[in-house]
Homo-oligomer: A and B are copies of this chain.
């Protein structure tokens, strides 16, 4: 099991190779992929090494083989389903964005407390009332979840997800969640991100506005 930084970059490499290459590109050098991913060439080679992808000194890495190799590491062989809780603006953005994007990973069920949002299909994703959560997760054997509810509800939702068998959670609510050690948690805190950018924007040399 590899470190999370590595997995994050592998996911990025795969997307870059799949979507951002001139059509017909057969081979790629570590420094080219590094340039796309905005990391160092040594980092790319080290990352690929950890999953036993190999290239040749003359041609670099074969793109198709690389995507194959990355997918073998990143994808569940028969596909994985994800549950989304919270169908607000953020939840809908997530559904829209992921819809049809990956063959082996899809948001298959969404939940919300508000009756007017549920029992309909949104971009191919069925929306259920929150009470159905345990039932649907068990029925569809869903092991990963996304929390996109207000901060006040996030902890309770996390606990229900964990109790229903979820082993990994992305949390978009701006409050750190408490989950058992063996459940993987990824905090995606919009507040922290913005406050950090504001801080560093301020600390950098000022722009020379030539006017």
Chain A residues packing against B (C-beta within 8 Å): 1, 4, 7-8, 11-12, 15-16, 19-20, 36-38, 73-74, 76, 80, 82, 88-90, 92-94, 96-98, 101-102, 105, 138, 143-144, 146, 151, 165-170, 174-178, 182-184, 186, 188-207, 209, 211
**Residues on the B chain within 8 Å of A76, using CB:** 198, 202
Q: Which 5 A-B pairs have the closest CB atoms?
A: A168-B201, A89-B93, A184-B200, A90-B93, A167-B201
Q: Are B197 and A193 in contact (CB under 8 A)?
A: no
- The verdict on A89 contacting B80 (CB below 8 Å), with A38-B176, A195-B74 known, is no
Q: Are A197 and B176 in contact (CB under 8 A)?
A: no
User: In the complex the two chains form, what is the Cα distance from A193 to B168 in whole Å?
Assistant: 11
Q: Smallest CB-CB separation from A104: which chain B residue? A: B198
How many copies of this chain does the complex contain?
A: 2
Q: Are A80 and B184 in contact (CB under 8 A)?
A: no
Q: Among the listed B12, B151, B170, B189, which residue makes an inter-chain contact with A194, where contact means beta carbons less than 8 Å apart?
A: B170
12 new A-B contacts, CB < 8 A, other than A15-B174, A74-B195, A74-B199, are A16-B176, A38-B177, A80-B202, A88-B93, A97-B191, A144-B198, A144-B201, A167-B200, A168-B201, A184-B204, A188-B190, A188-B193
Q: Among the listed B20, B143, B197, which residue makes an inter-chain contact with A186, where contact means beta carbons less than 8 Å apart?
A: B197
Could you list some 8 contacts between A and B, CB below 8 A?
A89-B89, A98-B194, A105-B198, A144-B194, A146-B194, A166-B201, A170-B193, A182-B205
**Residues on the B chain within 8 Å of A11, using CB:** 191-192, 195-196
User: In the complex the two chains form, what is the Cα distance from A94 to B119 in whole Å?
Assistant: 26
**Residues on the B chain within 8 Å of A198, using CB:** 74, 76, 80, 82, 105, 144, 168
User: In the complex the two chains form, what is the Cα distance from A201 to B80 in whole Å?
Assistant: 10
